[in-house]
Amino acid sequence: MLIKLSNELISDEKITFKKNTTEDASLRGAFSVSEKLKLDLTIPRSYGVRMAVMRLHRDGEAERDIPFNTVECGSFTLTLDMSELGVGLYYYSILFLRGNDTLFSHTVNNVDLELSERKGSDFRMLVYSDDFTTPDWFKGGVMYHIFVDRFYKSGNSPVREDAENQNDWFAPISQYGVIPGAAVKNDLFYGGDLYGITQKLDYLAKMGVSIIYLSPIFKAASNHKYDTADYMQIDPCFGGEEAFCDLIAKAEEKGIRVILDGVFNHTGDDSIYFNRYGNYPSKGAYQSEDSEYRNWYFFDKNKKAGYECWWDIDILPKLDHRTESCRRFFTSEEGVGAKYAGMGTGGWRLDVADELSDDFLYEFRKSVKNANKDAIIIGEVWENAADKIAYGKRRHYFQGKQLDSVMNYPFRTALLEFILNRNAKVLADELTDIYSSYPKCVADCLMNIIGTHDTERIITVLGDKKYKELSNRELSGHYMSREEYTEATKLLKIASTIQYTVYGVPSVFYGDEAGLEGGRDPFCRRTYPWGRENKELYKHYKTLGKIRNVPVFKTGDFKIIEYGADYIIYQRSLADTKVLICANMGNEPVELNVKGRDLLTGKSFCGIVESKSAAICYIEK
């Protein structure tokens, strides 16, 4: 790592800053509590630096200065014993003392260091528990995210008589708000079910899928099921528990594990717990102060609905996890989390993890891991989770007692900046920052998304010039022009190549591999286009699925090699294996002076990456 000068402070001579544990740790910023970290600075004499000092502080505590030891003129070293620091989050900067003035470190990505005449951004350092591990089976996999009602209809599950049932699988979504964000009943069902997913397991296996992540499947009034009615019942419209157990068993035969969506911050108002409409025989919290569930919720006469809701949506009353019976319903050894982990699922994705308390997450992890030590726990966190502050409180997701992984939204944001605006620096810095911020075992398990049920379809984002300005009525039947779609397909091949080759696990939202279009919710939840797939894209995704079998993409190291204004080159390495990936969004070819085989084409790499294309070069020994 080379230190850059933020302005022409001194000279062009090189300064080096290296970190080592038992190996080179220059790209790392997270360490186990038993590790010792050695930092080495080498500074040319022309800089006039007489002393280097680390200014360190534990999050929320006062700073303290730790001087580097002088090895010889211009060479400084410092060793930190993480056991003396203890598990927690730390920040530090480095001061360079030069007689009458001081220079300060500054970093934009938690790795690269610039010099500044004023205090800049600190480095982040996370110290985590020695016993923190993440499931090995998850690493190197391919995740497939399914919105159950819209994937495949088996015809074997009952339909609701009190809902709107659409028998035409390809009919446009006709139920939407008058304006974006307006209330929608969301009881339009197309009939997709768990039996249907089981029938399509061969299709998923051919794509290299090893993980199925299901949108919520518990009984609920809506098609999306984020308004849970009964956590102990699989929705009958999805086939019930019989279909669920059949899917788990058949998927396991094909080497595929199923992850569930845990919506534990709130329930539906039409639930056995709240029972706002009296549809359940139980005495719900809304009905009576004598209900066993009354203190599970926040009732407040000053609130518009008379109770606290998630984002003021009155059909989603918020749960009060301070109430032990409420929290333990989910987190105890007999709770919801452990129950389904013990039924053979691969783990949980936790909806709005920022709104779940530390106590909830501690207890949930313990019970789920006791039920299934290999279960993975992924949180929905939209920012860098290493030092996330949510509702005024610092979170401790990756210190060893809460989450295994998060949805990598920062990656999606930076990737789109690169693909749409040709800004390679943003992508390079974000990839470097996240990789250095998280424990390695977390980085290998990150859920790398480019589209979800909460975002516009990725192919629409990449190619549609009109979707942002259209009304919901216009979006319902809107599709790109042929020219736009062709260009978007080309861009999606580049985006997905990056998604599949950086650290972590790619998560494909059902239909993205088939070129399914769609704007904002609910139009991103169109039905899978069976028989109308984009065959070019599907072939590409099948190739990427095979490439994921190369061990370097499971736990290999990651390093940015080079980037320009509109191209990026990075490397994955494991033992003697090296793979170089280049994505070029520029108008001119990029030359790479390496020999190897392009895993995308299966042919010898020619050394050229053409405009708006990508290459995955397996470097021959």
The radius of gyration of the chain from alpha carbons, rounded to an integer in Å, stands at 26
Cβ neighbours, 10 Å, residue 154? 17
Q: What residues contact residue 552 under an 8 Å CB cut-off, 6+ apart? A: 572, 573, 574, 577, 578, 579
| Angstrom distance (rounded) from CA 618 to CA 594 | 10
Retrieve residue 557's tokens: 């190291």
351 is catalytic: yes
Distances (CA, A) of 414 to 431, 446, 448, 586: 8, 15, 12, 17
Q: What residues contact residue 171 under an 8 Å CB cut-off, 6+ apart? A: none
Catalytic residue among 149, 193, 269, 351: 351
Q: What is the 3-state secondary structure (H, E, C) of 357-384?
A: CHHHHHHHHHHHHHHCCCCEEEECCCCC
Contact between 433 and 459 under an 8 Å Cβ cutoff? The reply is: no
Contact between 416 and 469 under an 8 Å Cβ cutoff? The reply is: no
Catalytic residue among 227, 354, 355, 380: 380
Q: Is the dihedral of CA 201, 203, 209, 215 positive or negative?
A: negative
> Residue 564: is it exposed, middle or buried by C-beta count within 10 angstroms (0-12/13-18/19+)?
middle
Total number of residues shown for the chain: 621
Residue 178's nearest CA partner among 480, 527, 474 is 474
Contact between 52 and 33 under an 8 Å Cβ cutoff? The reply is: no
Contact between 536 and 514 under an 8 Å Cβ cutoff? The reply is: no
Q: Known catalytic residues?
A: 351, 380
